[in-house]
């Protein structure tokens, strides 16, 4: 059965009939009147002119004229699938969320995506991939809106429009469509050296996955799990594909892009149709919820840092299997609305400044993309838990709300929805201490190290992977028109690994920069990545 909603009147919507907007043996108008002819417009005589009174003509053309909705402002190109998540029970001691209970099965919908390209771009672009999962739990919908790279470009969500403006095609020529080979991209990442860690992950082979079925997923931010007794831990979420992690080479990607730009979405749909259901284990790295939220010198609130799995292994907590394809791309893959705000009792956010901004952005963008505030009522977005939300009216409202008093307490409609019978668990925002002088804009000094984890990543690669990474930098930087940008990025590479810088510099025919040690050696202006902090950094 489809996602169901219970309105305040107790009526269930979202039944299969409700999802199935079309039925019956005959072609009809949108108001259900049977049609005899849908191929010829009504004319005054066989040679026209066409008549304004032809309702069927106007309805058909007008509806078509309004068929497109805006594509996502990022992650526009995606492919989705339905599946099931089964908890192992291993996280039950850490979180009260029922979704993690042993053998508890929860329906999920997953959307994989590229970030930069438009809806019609190639699947094989060198890019980060989105990996967003909607868990339709009994306790509300939980969205884990993840990527296939464990760190992000920026540390503060206020810079998200800037990084997206830099990675999207140039405003003048609208190129490139889906790659990172352009001046604004390299200008941004060389000036904002916190982006270097993320960038090296997708300059390496992980930037061109072999298949969505062979990608890891990372929640990136540190989240807080709340147990039944109120105790908390900090966690990072990881998806591990049962098929392992595989990529294609750049040359393979070029050939596939030409021959089949839909390669990834075809691969996912074909595998599911053939019964080769892709599976991922969900796991967590668990950290003590200390006041400073640091681990081994790593700031857990900095989304440009990982915690190496050698230090904190990933503990498996459940298995996800994708077992059926969407039946309608628009209704499911396009209209699905993920949102990091969709949390359930037992899973809470932390003060990561990137995550905090995401909590506003998704809700906001979907009002434009899905035409108003009622997108939660679209079949793919309907919670499987009962909904009683006191939200009313608005564009595209489909619920018929009963009662006269959508406020609490009231003495007209009766009942107190805040009563919690034994065993029921409301969502409680977990109280966490803040160390605050308000009007603080500077990030903490623990966010300053921009190079050591990029170095760690590069040094963990095999020789072949290192070679591919150097070739990727050389190719992509080779597309830059501005010499100064290439030189600045080479300085950043020298701060990551001198050999990498040397190979790329040789490839570009540029002098090898001397090793840089801090953002100050790369970025000429103090203002850019360290707003509000003293310069040079101590
Ligand atoms: C869309 C992941 C940071 C704004 C997405 C999607 C994913 C994703 C997977 C596609 C969802 C889908 O398939 O429908 C991430 C990750 C981030 C991150 C992992 C960092 C850890 C941000 C930030 C902002 C942002 C900082 C803004 C402040 C958006 C917007 C969309 C989007 C506006 C389009 C949503 C829609 O139209 O439904 N993101 N994102 N993201 N993201 Fe992010």
Dihedral Cα 348, 202, 206, 512, nearest 10 deg: -140
pLDDT number for residue 5 = 41
In eight-state DSSP terms, residue 106 is E
Residue-averaged pLDDT of the chain? 90
SS (H, E, C) 29-91: CCCCCECCCCCCCCECCCCCCECCCCHHHHHHHHHHHCCCCCCCCCCCCEEEEEEEEEECCCC
Name which residue sits closest to atom 7 of ligand 1, judged by CA: 130
Asked if 178 contacts 114 with a C-beta cutoff of 8 angstroms, the reply is yes
Residues with C-beta less than 6 Å from any ligand 1 atom: 72-75, 78, 111, 113, 130, 132, 145-147, 152, 157, 160, 220-221, 303, 336-338, 354, 357-358, 361-362, 365-366, 369
In eight-state DSSP terms, residue 247 is B
Ligand 1 center–CA 23 separation, angstroms:
36
16 pLDDT higher than 50 = no
* Sequential DSSP letters for 128-154: -EEEEEEEEETTEEEEEEEESSSS-S-
Active site residue 75: yes
pLDDT number for residue 532 = 41
Ligand 1 center–CA 75 separation, angstroms:
7
pLDDT number for residue 418 = 65
Give the position, in ligand 1's atom list, of the atom nearest the Cα of 360: 28
- Identify the residue with better confidence: 434 or 464: 464
Count of all residues that appear for the chain in the document: 538
Rounded distance between C-alpha atoms, residue 450 and residue 457, angstroms: 12
Query: pTM higher than 0.90 for the full model?
Result: yes
Ligand 1 center–CA 393 separation, angstroms:
27
pLDDT per residue as tens digits for the range 303-317:
999 999 999 999 999
Rounded distance between C-alpha atoms, residue 353 and residue 523, angstroms: 23
Asked if 214 contacts 510 with a C-beta cutoff of 8 angstroms, the reply is no
Asked if 506 contacts 536 with a C-beta cutoff of 8 angstroms, the reply is no
Give the position, in ligand 1's atom list, of the atom nearest the Cα of 365: 33
Task: Pick left, alpha or beta for residue 355 (phi over 0 → left; psi -120 to 50 → alpha; otherwise beta).
Answer: alpha
pLDDT number for residue 245 = 98
pLDDT number for residue 423 = 63
The label of the residue with tokens 């920069």 reads: 513
Give the position, in ligand 1's atom list, of the atom nearest the Cα of 131: 9
Rounded distance between C-alpha atoms, residue 143 and residue 208, angstroms: 25
Degrees, nearest 5: CA angle 76-248-254:
70
Give the position, in ligand 1's atom list, of the atom nearest the Cα of 111: 13
Tokens of 54: 């032809």
pLDDT number for residue 410 = 87
Give the position, in ligand 1's atom list, of the atom nearest the Cα of 220: 21
Rounded distance between C-alpha atoms, residue 153 and residue 164, angstroms: 10
pLDDT number for residue 177 = 77
Give the position, in ligand 1's atom list, of the atom nearest the Cα of 154: 26
Tokens of 387: 């909904």
15 pLDDT higher than 60 = no
The label of the residue with tokens 């009994």 reads: 138
Active site residue 147: yes
* Sequential DSSP letters for 271-336: HHHTT---EEEEEEEEEE--SS-EETTEETT-TT----TTTSPPEEEEEEEEEE--S-TIIIIIT-
- Identify the residue with better confidence: 180 or 212: 212
pLDDT number for residue 174 = 87
Asked if 114 contacts 129 with a C-beta cutoff of 8 angstroms, the reply is yes
Q: What is residue 261's three-state secondary structure?
A: coil
Asked if 87 contacts 101 with a C-beta cutoff of 8 angstroms, the reply is yes
Ligand 1 center–CA 74 separation, angstroms:
7
pLDDT per residue as tens digits for the range 120-129:
999 999 999 9
pLDDT number for residue 408 = 84
534 pLDDT higher than 70 = no
Q: Which of 56, 82, 147, 374 is catalytic?
A: 147
Tally Cβ neighbours within 10 Å of residue 479: 16
Q: What DSSP element (H or E) covers 111?
A: strand 105-114
Rounded distance between C-alpha atoms, residue 61 and residue 162, angstroms: 39
Residue 356's pLDDT band (cuts 50, 70, 90): very high
Name which residue sits closest to atom 25 of ligand 1, judged by CA: 358
CA-wise closest residue to 503 among 453, 476, 466 = 466
Name which residue sits closest to atom 36 of ligand 1, judged by CA: 72
Name which residue sits closest to atom 24 of ligand 1, judged by CA: 358
CA 197 to chain centre: 19
pLDDT number for residue 470 = 98
- Judged by average pLDDT, the poorest of 39-48, 201-210, 377-386, 523-532 is 523-532
Ligand 1 center–CA 327 separation, angstroms:
24
Tokens of 503: 């190979």
Tokens of 140: 């509300």
- Judged by average pLDDT, the poorest of 44-58, 132-146, 222-236, 518-532 is 518-532
Percent of residues, the chain, with pLDDT higher than 70: 90
- Judged by average pLDDT, the poorest of 12-21, 60-69, 211-220, 333-342 is 12-21
pLDDT number for residue 4 = 38
Which residue out of 303, 361, 366 has the highest number of ligand 1 atoms within 8 Å of its CB and is therefore the one to mutate? 361
Tally Cβ neighbours within 10 Å of residue 48: 10
Ligand 1 center–CA 365 separation, angstroms:
10
The label of the residue with tokens 């839909």 reads: 262
538 pLDDT higher than 60 = no
Name which residue sits closest to atom 19 of ligand 1, judged by CA: 146
């Amino acid at each position: 059965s489809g996602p169901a909603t219970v309105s305040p009147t107790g009526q269930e919507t979202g039944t299969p009939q409700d999802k199935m907007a079309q039925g019956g043996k005959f072609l009809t108008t949108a108001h259900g009147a049977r049609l005899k002819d849908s191929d010829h417009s009504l004319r005054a005589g066989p040679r026209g002119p066409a008549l304004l009174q032809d309702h069927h003509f106007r309805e058909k053309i007008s509806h078509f004229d309004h068929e497109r909705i805006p594509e996502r402002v990022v992650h526009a190109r995606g492919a989705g699938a339905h599946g099931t998540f089964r908890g192992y029970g291993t996280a039950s001691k850490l979180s009260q969320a029922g979704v993690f209970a042993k053998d508890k099965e929860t329906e999920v919908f997953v959307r994989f995506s590229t970030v930069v390209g438009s809806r019609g771009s190639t699947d094989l672009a060198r890019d980060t991939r989105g990996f967003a999962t909607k868990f339709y739990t009994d306790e509300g919908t939980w969205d884990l809106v993840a990527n296939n790279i464990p760190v992000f470009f920026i540390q503060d969500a206020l810079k998200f429009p800037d990084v997206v403006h830099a990675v999207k095609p140039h405003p003048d020529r609208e190129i490139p469509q889906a790659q990172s080979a352009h001046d604004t991209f390299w200008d941004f990442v060389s000036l904002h050296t916190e982006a270097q860690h993320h960038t090296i992950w997708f300059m390496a082979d992980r930037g061109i996955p072999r298949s969505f079925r062979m990608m890891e997923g990372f929640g990136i931010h540190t989240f807080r799990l709340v147990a039944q007794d109120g105790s908390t831990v900090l966690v990072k979420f990881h998806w591990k594909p049962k098929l392992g992690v595989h990529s294609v080479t750049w040359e393979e990607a070029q050939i596939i892009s030409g021959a089949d730009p839909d390669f990834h979405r075809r691969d996912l749909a074909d595998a599911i149709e053939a019964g080769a259901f892709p599976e991922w284990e969900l796991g967590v790295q668990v950290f003590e919820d200390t006041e400073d939220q640091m681990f081994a010198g790593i700031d857990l609130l900095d989304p440009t840092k990982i915690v190496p799995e050698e230090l904190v292994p990933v503990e498996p907590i459940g298995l996800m299997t994708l077992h059926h394809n969407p039946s309608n791309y628009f209704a499911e893959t396009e209209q699905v609305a993920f949102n990091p705000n969709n949390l359930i009792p037992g899973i809470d956010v932390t003060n990561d400044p990137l995550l905090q901004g995401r909590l506003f952005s998704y809700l906001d963008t979907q009002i434009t993309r899905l035409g108003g505030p009622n997108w939660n009522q679209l079949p793919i977005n309907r919670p499987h838990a009962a909904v009683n939300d006191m939200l009313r009216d608005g564009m595209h409202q489909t619920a018929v709300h009963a009662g006269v008093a959508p406020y609490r307490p009231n003495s007209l409609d009766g009942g107190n929805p805040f009563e919690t019978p034994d065993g029921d668990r409301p969502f409680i925002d977990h109280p966490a201490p803040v160390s605050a002088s308000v009007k603080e804009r500077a990030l903490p000094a623990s966010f300053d190290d921009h190079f050591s984890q990029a170095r760690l990543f590069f040094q963990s690669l095999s020789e072949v992977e290192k070679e591919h990474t150097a070739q990727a930098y050389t190719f992509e930087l080779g597309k830059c028109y501005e010499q100064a940008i290439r030189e600045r990025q080479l300085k950043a590479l020298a701060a990551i690994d001198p050999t990498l810088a040397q190979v790329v510099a040789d490839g570009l025919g540029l002098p090898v920069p001397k090793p840089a040690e801090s953002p100050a050696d790369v970025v000429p202006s103090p203002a850019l990545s360290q707003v509000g902090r003293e310069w040079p950094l101590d």
